[in-house]
Structure 1
Amino acid sequence: MRMPVAETDVIIVGAAPTGLTLARELRLAGVRTLVLERLPEPRAVAKAGGLGGRMLEMVRYRGLLDRFEAASGQPRPAPRFPFGGLHVDLTELVDPPMQALLLPQPQMESLLEKLARELGAEIRRGHEMVALRQDDGQVSVDVCGPDDAYQVSAQYLVGCDGVGSRVRQLTGIPFPGITYPEVNRLGSFSMPDALTLLDDGDYLVPGFGRLRSGYTQTANGVFAISSYTPHDLGVYTSEEENRTYDDDQPMTVAEFGDSVRRVLGADIPLGEPTRLTRFTFHARHVERYRDRRILLAGDAAHLFPSGGVAVSAGMLDAVNLGWKLAGEVKGWAPPGLLDSYHAERHLAGARTLLHTQAQVALRRGLDAAAHALRDVVAELLLDDPARRRVGALIAGADLRYPMPGADPHPLAGTFAPDLALRGSIGSVADTLHAGRPVLLDLADRADLREVTPGWHGRLDVHTAEADNRPADAILIRPDGHIAWAAGVDEPAGTARGALRESLSHWFGLPDV
C-alpha cells in the first residue's frame, strides 16, 4: 500500500526564538519547512532581554553577529551576571566565558523571522495546531486558521510551543518537575532624574538613602537593582504570592511599583519603561525529546528556575537538531543520528538544571545558614578559577558531548575554538556560515583529505595553517562541535581509519 506523500518536510509548531532558529537551520540544509504560530502577531512582552553564552558564539559562527548587533543598537554590557542572588564578575578576565547582547525578545523574534523567511521558510501566524497524528510514514495535524480549518502533513514535527506545549501534551510525553511559588518581576527603565547613581555603583534614593547595587534579601523576598550604563535602570523583585497571572497579560508600572514597595518597604523612582515582564520559575525536564516522528525543543522540553538561560538553551536545541533532522529528510542520516539529539540535548538540559537549581538554594533561604552560604559562595567567586568555572556553567560553554570510540581526542565533543587561520579563510567561525560539516586540515595532510571524496556533497574541506595547532585536523559538525580530531603527527594509518569511521558515524555512508 502506497504511503501518502507529505505536503512538507518538517512542521514546526511555535514561532518564538527556538522555532524560528530551527526554521532557518533547516532551510540552510534545503529542507521544506512550515512554521505554525497560534498568535496572529508577535508577542509584545519582552520575556527575554537578550542573548548570551554559547548561542551568541553560534550566531557569530553562522555569520549573523553583525545583524544581531545592528538589531540591538546597544553597546555590549560588561560581563557581570546574576547567580542565585549574587553576581559573577567576569570583567577582569581577558577572555570571559560568558558574554551577552542586549536584544529584547520582540526585536529578536522579528530578526529571526526575517532570517528564516529570507531562506524560504513559510511562517503562518494565527494558525493554531489543534490535533496531531503520526504513523510510520508521516505526521498529520489539524490546524485552525483565521479563515478556515485544514490539515497538513509532514515527515516530522517539532514542538517549539513553549511552557504549555500542546504538542507535548498531545504526544503524552511526561514533563516532571516542580513550580516555585515566587512571582518574579523585572523592569528596565530610563534613569530617573530623582535617582543618583554613585561612583561605586550604588544608588542614592530620595527619602530612603543609599541603596546597594545588586541583590538584597528582605523579609518579604528578593530585590535587585543595577545599571548597564549611567542612562538605564534595571529593577527586579521576587516574592511569594497566592495568586496566578496570565503571562500574556502585560505587567503595568503600577503593578511593578506595588511589588517594589512590598519587597523593599520603600518606593523607588522609575523612569520610562523599556521592558516589563513577570514570570514564574519552574524546574522541569521532559523524559524524552523524541517520540518517533515528533520532537520537542526549547521551553516545550525544559524549564529552568533562573533567568538568562532559557532562550539560548532553546536556540542551541534547534542548532543541534536542525542538521540531524535534515539528514533524515534527505536520506543520508546514519542509524541513531536523530536519537543523538535526545542524548546530547537532554544532557545539556540536565547540566543547565544543575546550576539553576543550585541558584534556587542560594537565593531562597532567609535564615542565618542561608546568609552564611551566600557569603561563602560570594568569597569563592572572587577567585578567577571559580568565576571562570561558574561563568562557563551559565554560558553552557563547559559542555562536552560524549563521542564514539575507545579513546577520543580531548577536543572531540567540545565546541570548536575559533582559531585564527592563515590561508583562504580567516578563522574557524568563517567555515560554518553555511551550516555544513567541515574538515579543517591544519597540517596539509593529503592522506586525510584523500578519505573525504565519498562525502563531497555533504562536507566542506579546508586547508589552512594555525599557530600552535591543537590537532593536525578537526572534523566539525554543523552545530560547531568537534566530531573527531587527529593528534599532532598522528600516523596516517590510524588517522585515516578513525576519520572514515567518524564521517560514517555522523554523516552516513560515502557515496559510491
Structure 2
Amino acid sequence: MKHTTDQVDVVISGAGPNGLLVAGELALAGLRPVVLEQLAEPSPELKANGIVGQANRVLDLRGLYQTLSGSDEPPQPMDGYIFAGMQVPFTDVVDNPMYGMLIQQPRVVRELADWVRGLGAQIRWGHELTDFEQGSDGVVLDVSSPEGNYRLPATYLVGADGGRSPVRKKAGIDFPGLTTDVIARVAHISLPDELRTGYGALNVPGVGQIPFGHNRFEGGVLIYAEFQAGRSMLGTIEYGSVLPEDAPELTIDELRESVKRVVGADLPVEPPSGPGPHALRRINGQNTRQASQYRAGNVFLVGDAAHVHSAMGGPGLNLGMQDAMNLGWKLAAAVQGWAPDGLLDSYHSERWPAGQRVMMHSMAQAALMAAGPEVTALRTLFGELLATPDGSAHIAGVLAGSDVRYDVGDGHRLSGRFVPALTLSDGRRIAQLLHRGRPVLLDLSGGGCAGAASGWRDRVDVVEATVADRPAAALLIRPDGYVAWAADEFDHDGLRAALERWFGPETEVSALSA
C-alpha cells in the first residue's frame, strides 16, 4: 500500500559523487534535498582511481579538495599526463589547468555523503525510484523501500543514476551515439615481485618494460598501474568483436588469456591476496552516447545519466562534477524564487558542449590506440605535436575541461571562463571566498562596486581586495566558479546588467534593511 509523503523541493536519484555534489550545493543554499539510492549503503565498487582536471579546483571552491586529498595545500598543477598512452609534458604550459588527485571512488562517495548530511540533506539508502509522473508543477515519484512503498511529490527531479538511467528513459530523453566493437577487461591482480619495477611499471619477459597507463600493441591495449604495493590494476582492450550478451562473468583466467593475445606473451597473473573489494569487470562494447537534452520540464540529468564515454584518461568525474556544480546553484535559485528567465535552460546550453568535447577526445584517444601502420605513423606525428608548448597547452585545456567557454553575455577575456586561481594581498585564495556557495563580486578597483550591487546583496557577497598583477578591476563570479562579468575599468551599467541576467532583479534596498 502506497502512502504519500510531504512534498520536497528537489529529489536526486543516485548517491554517487555527482548526485551527492548536487545535494550539497542545494543544502549550502538552505534547501533540504532528498537523495534516493537503491543500494543499502555506499558501493565499494572501484570505478575511478582519481580525479583529474578542473574538477579539483571545483572541489576546492567548497573546501572539499582538502577533505578528500588529506592536505591543507591547494590543488597543484600536474607536470604531465597521458593522452592515448603518449606522455604529454605540462612543465612549459602557462597557467596549466591540469590538476590531479589520487583517490578511489568509494572514499569520494563516503566523504561527500558525510558532507551533505552535515549540511542537512537527507540520503535514503535502500530507497529506489521505481517510476514518476511529471506535471506542470513538478513530479510525483513512486519509491520502494525496506519499510514499504510510498509516493514522494517534488518540484524538481535530478537523475544522477548512471549510464542506464531509468530517469532519462522515463523522461523520454533520447540517448543517441554509437557502440564500438571492443571488449575492455580490468581487474586487481598480484604478480611476482621480480616483474614489478617500481611504481606503475611492469617488466614482461620477452616483451620488456611496460610503463604506467595505457600501452598500445598490435593485438590491442594493455593497461597497468600499481596504486598500492602488491595490488596492481591490470586491464586489456581488444578491438573488433564483442561477446554474447549471456557471456559469463569475467575471471582471472579470461584476463590472463586476453593479456597473452594482446602482448604475445604469458603473464603469471593471480588474484590479489589482500583484503577487498577488488575490481573484476568487463565492458562488452564501448558506448559513446549523449542525452539529446539535459532537461525535460522539471527533470534534469547529470553525470553518466547525461553522457557515457570511454574511461581512457579518466574524464568521467571531471565532467560529471562540473555538471553538478553548474546545476546545483541554478536549481536553488529557482526554488528560492530569484532565478531569472532562462537560468535553468542554461544548464543544458553550457554543459552539453562540455560533454561533446569529452566524447570527442575519448574517441580520438581510442582511434590513436588502434592497430595498424597508419595509426603508428599518426601517433608519431601526434607525439611530435604533443611535445610542443602549443600542443601540450591545447591538450591540457581539452583534458581539464578548461577549453569550454560559456556564453555569459559579456565579452571580457575572462568572462565565461573559470576564475583564475588568484591569491589576494591579504593571503586569501579565490576558492576560499566561495566556500559558502554564493556568488561573489570581487572588487579589485579600490571600491565602487558595492553601491552598484546593493540591490543584490541578499544573494551576492561583495569582497573588496587588492592583488598583485590584477587580471581585471572587478569580477562577478558565479557559485560554480565561472566569471559572469569582468571589467578592466569599473562599468556601473554593465555590472548591474550582469547581476540581473544571472541573479535576478534587484531587491529594494529598504526591504533588505527591514
TM-score, scaled to structure 1:
0.89
Equivalence map 1:61-460=2 (5 Å): 61-70=61-70, 79-90=79-90, 96-187=96-187, 192-197=192-197, 203-205=202-204, 207-208=205-206, 210-213=208-211, 215-226=214-225, 233-240=232-239, 241-243=241-243, 252-270=251-269, 272=273, 275-279=279-283, 280-307=285-312, 308-364=314-370, 366-405=371-410, 408-423=411-426, 426-446=428-448, 448-460=449-461
RMSD: 2.8
Q: Contact 1:194–1:269 at 8 Å: present in 2 too? A: no
Identity %: 40
Following TM superposition, by how much is the alpha carbon of 1:127 offset from its aligned partner in structure 2, in angstroms? 1.2
Q: 1:17 maps to which residue?
A: 17
SS at match of 1:162: coil
Q: 1:507 maps to which residue?
A: 503
TM-aligned CA distance change 1:90 to 1:267, over 3 Å: farther
Amino acid in structure 2 at the alignment position of 1:32: R
Q: Deviations over 1:331-355 (max 9, x none)?
A: 0101111000010001211122221
Structure 1 residues not aligned, in runs of 5+: none
Q: 1:467 maps to which residue?
A: 468
Q: Deviations over 1:174-231 (max 9, x none)?
A: 00001122122234567741214179x86433x4352332544334321133556987
Counterpart-to-counterpart distance in 2, 1:305 and 1:118: 34
Counterpart-to-counterpart distance in 1, 2:77 and 2:208: 24
TM-aligned CA distance change 1:33 to 1:196, over 3 Å: closer
TM-aligned CA distance change 1:232 to 1:473, over 3 Å: farther
Alignment partner of 1:496 out of 483, 492, 498: 492
User: What is the count of residue pairs matched by the alignment?
Assistant: 494
Counterpart-to-counterpart distance in 1, 2:62 and 2:170: 34
Amino acid in structure 2 at the alignment position of 1:340: S
Amino acid in structure 1 at the alignment position of 2:58: M
Q: Contact 1:196–1:203 at 8 Å: present in 2 too? A: yes
Amino acid in structure 2 at the alignment position of 1:376: L
Q: Contact 1:221–1:237 at 8 Å: present in 2 too? A: yes
Following TM superposition, by how much is the alpha carbon of 1:81 offset from its aligned partner in structure 2, in angstroms? 2.9
Structure 2 residues not aligned, in runs of 5+: 509-514
TM-aligned CA distance change 1:93 to 1:188, over 3 Å: farther
Q: Deviations over 1:1-42 (max 9, x none)?
A: xxx996111010111111011111110111120111112232
Following TM superposition, by how much is the alpha carbon of 1:395 offset from its aligned partner in structure 2, in angstroms? 1.0
Q: Contact 1:439–1:473 at 8 Å: present in 2 too? A: yes
Amino acid in structure 2 at the alignment position of 1:428: I
Report which stretch shifted further, 380-389 or 235-244: 235-244
Counterpart-to-counterpart distance in 1, 2:405 and 2:94: 23
TM-score, scaled to structure 2:
0.89
Counterpart-to-counterpart distance in 1, 2:234 and 2:100: 18
Q: Contact 1:45–1:250 at 8 Å: present in 2 too? A: no
Counterpart-to-counterpart distance in 2, 1:289 and 1:221: 35
Counterpart-to-counterpart distance in 1, 2:201 and 2:11: 50
SS at match of 1:35: strand
Following TM superposition, by how much is the alpha carbon of 1:275 offset from its aligned partner in structure 2, in angstroms? 4.5
Counterpart-to-counterpart distance in 2, 1:459 and 1:76: 28
